[in-house]
Amino acid sequence: MSARPSLDPPADESVTPLVRKAAAWSWRLLLILGAIIVVLWIILRLEILVVP
C-alpha cells in the first residue's frame, strides 16, 4: 500500500511543485492559526470565570 494517493500522471504533472508546496503550507498555517484562536478563546473564557 502506498502512503501517497495515486493520481493519474497528467493531473499530477499539471500542478507545479511550487503550487503543491504552497497548498501544503497554507493548510498547515490555517490549522496553526485555528489552534491559536481556540487557545486564546479558552484563555479568555477562563479569565472571565476566574476573575469576576
What is the per-residue pLDDT across 1-39, written as a single tens digit (0 to 9) for each? 556 666 666 766 788 989 999 999 999 999 999 999 999
Q: How far is CA 43 from the centre of its chain?
A: 22
**CA-based max dimension of the chain:** 61
Using CA atoms, how far residue 24 sits from 15, 29, 41, in Å, is 13, 9, 26
Using CA atoms, how far residue 29 sits from 21, 34, 40, 41, 47, in Å, is 12, 8, 16, 18, 27
* Element spanning 25, H or E: helix 17-50
The reported pTM is: 0.61
Inform me whether the pLDDT recorded for 41 exceeds 90: yes
